[in-house]
Amino acid sequence: MTPADADAHPLVRNALRITLSAKEYKLLHEYIIQRTPPSIKDKAPSPSRYEAIVRSKNKHNEAALRASLRVFLVSGGLLKLVEAIVRRIQGDMSKKKPRSSILHSPNFRLSLSLSLVVLLHRFLYRFFVKLRTNLRTDDARPFRERNPRVSRALTSRYAPAVGASMAGFALGICPQTQLRITAAIYAGTRTMEFVFNALDEKGWFGDRPWWFASWLLMPVSCAQLFHAFVFDRETVPKVCPPRICALLLCPSYIRGRPESLPAGFPWPDKEAVVDSLANIARLRWPPSCGTAFVHHILLSVPPLARFLTTVTLALSVLKFKTILSHPISAVNSLSKKIIKLTAILSAAAGSAWGTLCLWHVILPRSVLPTKRFFLSGAVAGIPFAFLENSRSIFMYFFRLAVRSKWDVGVKNGLWKGWKGGDLWIIVLAWAVMGSLLEHRPSPVQGKGVRKSLAWLRGDGFVDPVEAAAKKKARKSSTQKQPGNEARA
């Protein structure tokens, strides 16, 4: 370090360390500072001088602080932006928000909890890695002999991942309980998906039948969502696609106001009709439908096909070059996709209502008067068996169903929430995901998920699967060199 670098104030040096790393400053200097006017460019330090100023022995701690600070600032800015957009859409810009302490601000506490999660996760992961390394040395043999169980746990290859997952308890600072419950459901279901992938790779489900696939989640999900839609509509998650609700309010089964009816005559809206249907079922007089299923197909297919065509064409803009290179095959595949989705969604919605007629004919009126809506919802999920390679969609509906079931249980007093239970689910799910990433990262589906988990523990935004493949290829190429073969 030069004398000029040594004269830098410690506060300035520490501020620079947690603001930009030497590598980031080098990129910034190459792409931005070099293009600035000479008056600014001459005052900016060179990359080598900046590296000498911020040089430190605690690079990992500084990187953790830097990442945590950035998460705090970026998440806080995004939350402010989203809040402003929502207020603008709702027309509440003129209304002044009541002033409150910044410590009680939900956005501030959410940003603080996210930044603490990143900071604690990196600190804990590095701590347990160092502890595991030290406990495996010869100097720690007396400790291992005195505490064999503790030693086995701390020297396990999964100890850093499990220990670092305790950072999830920092989400307890977040005051949005509903947001934590949603995060717990997402983490739990994703972990179950990754565990299934790991068991499948090991051959546990090698002899499974052809029909055993992720589409089996749809009958379960549709059963819960359809029953909740009729009897507990407030528990249907608001993130449920509005078009699904529109399908459930299909005109052939839930009639709208006739156009010829004078304005002075009252007519119940569609949701009021569904509420009345629930009351009829509770009185053990389930509805009967006749030929409404055919009417439903004729009425719902045209608008549904137009909607799906619009959505599919909008999404296909991302593949514009592929469409231009192979226009005929691209148009054929898009047409098949639209027709298949239209048939599946229309059949699912029609089956949900149409099977109520079947139960009315088969079952006595006192047998399962309200629970038969579960059966109808399950039948509505069967057409999704023809939708291939859509596990993410099935998992999305499954998460909606789990959230709906939880809210229904709380509403009816079937169970009470365990204080901090959502945090425990997040921590356990995080521990399992981290252990899978440590042992075999390929079951952790999604390149973005793997990169995020690797970034959280301080390994950089890299995919462990790609890193392992490159390492294996490099090792095999080294072994195939002529000098190595001669020595072998």
Q: Which of 30-44, 81-95, 119-133, 358-372 bottoms out in mean pLDDT, i.e. has the lowest?
A: 30-44
Query: Does the residue 305 lie in any domain?
Result: yes
Note the helical H segments in 261-291.
270-282
The answer to whether residue 123 scores a pLDDT higher than 70 is: yes
- DSSP 8-state class, residue 158: T
Q: Which pLDDT score, from 0 to 100, does residue 253 have? A: 60
What mean pLDDT is predicted for residues 101-127?
Answer: 87
Query: Does the residue 330 lie in any domain?
Result: yes
- DSSP 8-state class, residue 44: S
Query: Does the residue 207 lie in any domain?
Result: no
Report which of residues 133 and 9 the model is more confident about: 133
Residues 25 and 86 in one domain: no
Report which of residues 36 and 288 the model is more confident about: 36
Domain end call among 382, 417, 452: 417
Across 276-285, 287-296, 366-375, 478-487, the highest mean pLDDT is recorded for 366-375
- 405: Cβ–Cβ under 8 A, 6 or more apart, which residues? 224, 228
Share of the chain above pLDDT 70, in %: 75
Q: Which pLDDT score, from 0 to 100, does residue 334 have? A: 80
Domain end call among 417, 448, 481: 417
* Mean confidence (pLDDT) of the chain: 79
Across 21-25, 33-37, 40-44, 393-397, the highest mean pLDDT is recorded for 393-397
Query: Does the residue 338 lie in any domain?
Result: yes
Residues 133 and 253 in one domain: no
Overall domain count for the chain: 3
What mean pLDDT is predicted for residues 365-369?
Answer: 78
Report which of residues 114 and 295 the model is more confident about: 114
Residues 34 and 69 in one domain: no
> pLDDT class for 488, splitting at 50, 70, 90?
very low
The answer to whether residue 450 scores a pLDDT higher than 70 is: yes
Please write the tens of the pLDDT for every residue from 3-19: 445 556 677 666 777 77
Query: Does the residue 293 lie in any domain?
Result: yes
Q: Which domain holds residue 40?
A: 3-54
What sign does the CA torsion over 131, 136, 142, 145 have? positive
The HSE-up count of residue 231 (CA atoms within 13 Å, CB side) is 24
Residues 82 and 151 in one domain: yes
Residues 70 and 107 in one domain: yes
Query: Does the residue 203 lie in any domain?
Result: no
C-beta atoms surrounding 204 within 10 Å = 11
Q: Which pLDDT score, from 0 to 100, does residue 3 have? A: 47
